């Protein structure tokens, strides 16, 4: 194995992204010594959106969430995720 190059220090995440988009990481990193890492506390990035829903739908969601003791926005996210996963499975 040839000698590894030293990875540069980056001033920003953007600069680092641009660098790795045009360079091969195997020139700087010895992957034979890597170990699997688990990051159990990572949360996915979220983005706020605005969506108009009928008031009756929101009220129905709130009734369901009161039974489950969770916020209605959390239940809505769960319902959306389940449906998206279902649609993706059917599309295969």
DSSP summary character for residue 14: H
Q: What is the DSSP string of 15-75?
A: HHHHHHHHS-GGGT--GGG------TT-------------HHHHHHHHHHHHHHTS-HHHH
**16 Cβ contact list (under 8 Å, min separation 6):** 10
User: Looking at the predicted structure, is the pLDDT value of residue 1 above 60?
Assistant: no
Provide the mean pLDDT of the chain.
91
Tell me: pLDDT of 87 over 70: yes
């Amino acid at each position: 194995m040839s000698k590894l190059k030293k990875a540069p220090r980056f001033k920003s995440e953007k600069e680092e992204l641009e660098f790795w988009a045009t360079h091969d990481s195997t020139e700087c990193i010895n992957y034979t010594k890597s170990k699997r890492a688990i990051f159990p506390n990572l949360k996915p990035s979220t983005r706020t959106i605005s969506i108009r829903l009928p008031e009756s739908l929101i009220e129905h969601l709130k009734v369901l969430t009161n039974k489950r003791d969770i916020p209605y926005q959390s239940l809505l996210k769960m319902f959306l995720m389940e449906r998206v996963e279902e649609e993706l499975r059917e599309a295969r």
